[in-house]
Amino acid sequence: MSDDAGLDRPHVFLPAEPSAAGPPLLLLHGTGGDERDLLPLRGLLSPGAAVLSVRGSVLENGMPRFFRRLREGVFDEDDLRRRADALAAFVETAGAAYGVDPGALVAVGFSNGANIASALLLRRPGLLRGAVLLSAMVPFAEPPAVDLAGTSVVVSNGRRDPMIPAALTATLVGQLRERGADVVELPHPGGHQIDPGVLPQVRELLGA
């Protein structure tokens, strides 16, 4: 964690190890998590890779989130846009400070973190090389008309997720594909969770 100017947002940076073969990761936690929650995914998805893990800057009943919501499943889209732009600025500053090549990061987000990752893709194309969206919803009712050609996205939602019906997943995937993203769906039989069974497939895709 750093207190340098521009890097005072709570975060963890892990430099790449000499054996690293996968892409650097931007880890984005779910509601109530923090910048350490998803660190174990480094070894499962991109062993030894550089990692930037960031804490959400909004509190909901004391629980960190990346943006506000009006109620469960209904996002404050104005706040989402502001928070996504602020996170993008932080990622650019941190990347420059830590020596991560621009556009090299793959965002790995769970739930609220997946939703802010989708917003980053749609607000700031080119910021990320790709994204892994775990338990992801639709960030914008009317997303901007951006070009995501060359951007790889994995969407892994649970078939029994009470918060994300299949139609909502289809809408998200459709929005990304309509903008040129290369989307791979890895559904799992569980609920609102990270399913360990899909992680080896994600790792293979990231290493391709």
CA–CA dist 15, 18 (Å, integer): 10
Which residues, including other chains, have CB under 8 Å from residue 16's CB and lie 6 or more apart? Answer: 24, 48, 49, 50
Told to judge if 188 belongs to the known catalytic residues of this protein, a careful annotator would answer no
Told to judge if 34 belongs to the known catalytic residues of this protein, a careful annotator would answer no
Task: Compute the Cα dihedral for 99, 44, 208, 127 and give only its sign.
Answer: negative
Which is the catalytic residue, given 11, 29, 53, 111? 111
Told to judge if 152 belongs to the known catalytic residues of this protein, a careful annotator would answer no
Which is the catalytic residue, given 76, 85, 182, 192? 192
* Residues involved in catalysis: 111, 161, 192
